[in-house]
Amino acid sequence: MQPTINVYNHNVVTEIPNVTKIELNLLLYMSRIQDVFGNVSGLYYKDACAYLNCCKQSFYNALYGLEEKGYIQINFCYKEQSYWNILILDNMFLNEADDKKGYLNTNKKFLCSEYFKNLKLNEEKLLIYIAFIYHAEKGLTVYPKRICEWLGIQSVSLAWSYIDGITAILPHKIIPGKHGDKILFEANNTAITEPNIESERENYLTHKLQYLLRKGHITYTSKDIRDLIILLGQKAALGIGKVQSVIHYVLEQYNSIQAALINKLLTPDKFTGELPALYI
């Protein structure tokens, strides 16, 4: 269970003229539960449908649409197309060299909000563009014509309508420029920079644990998931392999979440320093 880096490659984010609104939101959703290689394992269609507020067929259409357009690769689906293994293409984040390619952290509060999902497609795209280049200390100044170029449109008046559509997150001022009016998005706008309430690690581990529990037909609550994530953090020094094996052992042997038992099996003996043996 390796925590994901919730990012998306800048070149892909800023070259998305051919995606639909639901495809874009699905892509953003998957980016928050990927691993560092861009893999999304065990994507559950009901989770995606609930997030996107769409039906099963719309989810399928968006998923296959993203594959046809070259954004993802569908590696595997199972249980009557309920669970999917996806690879987000060209989206590995392994080292400094990858970082220098330019990535957008998609675990932003505004990107996860209902407000964002209810915007028009070009308003969503505009916010994504601005989020990538926005400088918290300096703000951002841009000509409306430049926004037309970003969005692949000709009408400046249409660009202004999209600018007005995102004012709840990005209020702006109009200032004179050398080539006409310019748009100033002022500095220190926390609405565009604020991270999501759930951390990158929480998003990833919640997704992985839910998949594991559903696969074993084990009932759970949100508190169960939170407790396990806290326990994983506390026992991380033992090594992810050992922690994972104990969790699998308890789930398979007891068919339930027993955080206290998992904790006990991951606590070394105070005299020998050894962990309790697992019996099958």
Say which amino acid occupies 174.
Answer: I
User: Could you tell me which CATH class the domain 111-193 is placed in?
Assistant: mainly alpha
Q: And the tokens for 73?
A: 């690769």
Long-range CB contacts for residues 178-181, cutoff 8 Å, separation at least 24: 179/143, 179/145, 180/143, 181/143, 181/144
Q: Tens place of pLDDT for every residue, the chain, 280 residues?
A: 333 334 455 455 555 668 899 999 999 999 999 988 889 999 999 999 999 999 999 999 999 999 999 899 999 887 777 899 999 988 877 777 766 667 788 899 999 999 999 999 999 999 998 988 899 999 999 999 999 998 889 999 999 999 999 999 999 999 988 888 999 999 999 999 999 988 888 999 899 899 888 888 888 999 989 988 888 888 888 887 788 888 888 888 888 888 888 888 888 877 788 888 776 5
Q: CA-CA distance, 139 to 133, in Å (whole number)?
A: 9
Contacts of 55 (CB under 8 A, 6+ apart): 49
CB within 8 A of 235, min separation 6: which ones?
A: 243, 263, 266
Domain 7-106 has CATH 1.10.10.60: no
Nearest partner of 41 among 228, 211, 215, judged by Cα: 211
Per CATH, 7-106 and 111-193 having the same topology is answered yes
- Separation CA 239–CA 129 (nearest Å): 39
Q: Where are the domains of the chain?
A: 7-106, 111-193, 216-265
Q: What is the pLDDT of residues 12-41, one digit of tens each?
A: 555 566 889 999 999 999 999 998 888 999
Q: Which two tokens stand for residue 6?
A: 């919730």
Residues 48, 53, 55, 58, CA torsion sign: negative
